[in-house]
Amino acid sequence: MSTAKKRIPKFKDEKEEQLFWAKADSTDYIDWSQAKPVKLPNLKPTLKTISLRLPAVVIEDLKILANRQDVPYQSLLKLYLTERIAQERTPLKTKSGR
């Protein structure tokens, strides 16, 4: 049973659209039962620059490890952080083997 949906307004910019969707109920505008999954292979993740203070010895060790793998040390650090975060997000019962 489908009911008529409201028209999505035209937005002057992304900020205006964000404010609209923060308050609007999308089910008034979109029939989600008709939604299909999509893949966006060229979508780039949003990057944010941070300042991180590390002991010099940690940075030097990271550079040595990165050099062995022929990758920039900052890329290796991102990989290590990503892997550890994924590990920490794993449910405890999976970690303990139960």
In tens, the pLDDT along 32-82 reads 998 999 998 888 888 899 999 999 999 999 999 999 999 999 999 999 999
* Domain membership flag for residue 32: no
In this predicted structure, the answer to whether residue 26 has a pLDDT above a threshold of 70 is: yes
Dihedral sign computed on CA atoms, order 18, 20, 23, 26? negative
- Is position 90 within any domain? yes
- Has residue 81 been placed in a domain? yes
Q: How many residues does the chain have?
A: 98
Average pLDDT over residues 77-91: 92
Task: Return the pLDDT at 95.
Answer: 55
Whole-angstrom distance, CA of residue 28 vs CA of residue 13 = 21
Question: What's the structural domain count of the chain?
Answer: 1
Tokens representing 35? Answer: 């939604």
Give the CA count within 13 Å in the CB-facing half-sphere of 19.
7
* Whether pLDDT at 92 is above 90: no
The pLDDT assigned to 2 comes to: 54
Is 17 part of a structural domain of the chain?
no
